[in-house]
Amino acid sequence: MAIRVTIFDDNKKLLDSLDILIDGSPGFQIAGTFPNISNLIADIEKSQPDVILMDIEMPGMNGIEGVKIVKKHFPKINVMMQTAFENDEHVFEAICAGASGYILKSTSPSRILECIVEVYQGGSPMSPTVARKVLGFLQTPKKEPNLSNENKDDYNLTNREKEVLSCLVNGLSYKMIADQCNITYETVRSHMKKIYEKLHVVSMTEAVAKAINQKIVM
């Protein structure tokens, strides 16, 4: 008996290709595909899925809300989240909301099928990176009281590097940072390279996002 899969994804193209992939694979069957979750309950009752594939980034009500509703009304149905990014917040929220799996949109077709089976069988497939984040949530449960300085991981940035990063977060260009810190443009570049290396990022935007989200500066 085939595993019935219902998909919620606003990306028409992806939705179609998933439809073809899943429905065309023996042992699987598409129960329904929907571009949004505005009729979530009704859609599920109509399609009667064993497993739900839910895009996390959808306009309007997003996938996190979606999974909450699903688990509330259909606790038996396992929901696998699909996302473009391995965003810390999303991972955590999705899991707390009751998601059973968490895979990337870039996952290969064959692996997607595997994951559907695993979810159906009660497992929780997730990418190693997501898994690491999940473990991280468990490993740092003892930090409710103080939240002031003594920021655990500042990635070993030097003072100068933090200063430069701080400028970056404030929207300054390399040239402006050079001016601000009384150093040359090339020196700013040197610091940036080091910062990228230490933060494991490759662009200004990533650096800024990480700096803010992990409170490395300010």
Site membership for a copy of itself, residue 128 (CB under 8 A): yes
* Residues 189 and 174: beta-carbon distance below 8 Å: yes
Residues 6+ apart with CB under 8 A from 163: 181
User: Looking at this protein, which amino acid is placed at residue 201?
Assistant: V
Supply φ then ψ for residue 7, to 5 degrees: -115, 140
Q: Binding string to DNA for residues 92 to 131, with x set by CB under 7 A, is what?
A: ----------------------------------------
Smallest separation, CB 191 to a copy of itself (Å): 14
**133-192: contacts with DNA (CB under 7 A):** 156, 158-161, 173-175, 181, 183-187, 189-192
* Residues 21 and 113: beta-carbon distance below 8 Å: yes
Alpha helices in 57-139 (DSSP H): 63-73, 88-97, 109-120, 128-139
State the Cα–Cα distance between residues 160 and 188, nearest whole angstrom. Answer: 10
**Choices 92-100, 112-120, 145-153, 198-206 (CB under 7 A): range interacting with DNA:** 198-206
Q: Which residue of 1, 24, 26, 59 would you call a contact of a copy of itself, by CB under 8 A?
A: 59
Placement of tokens 């040359």 in the chain: 184
The contact set with a copy of itself (CB under 8 A) reads 11, 13, 57, 59-60, 62, 84-85, 87, 89-90, 92, 95-96, 98-101, 118-119, 121-129, 131-132, 134-135, 137-139, 142, 144, 159, 162-163, 166-173, 180, 182, 201-206, 208-209, 212-213, 218
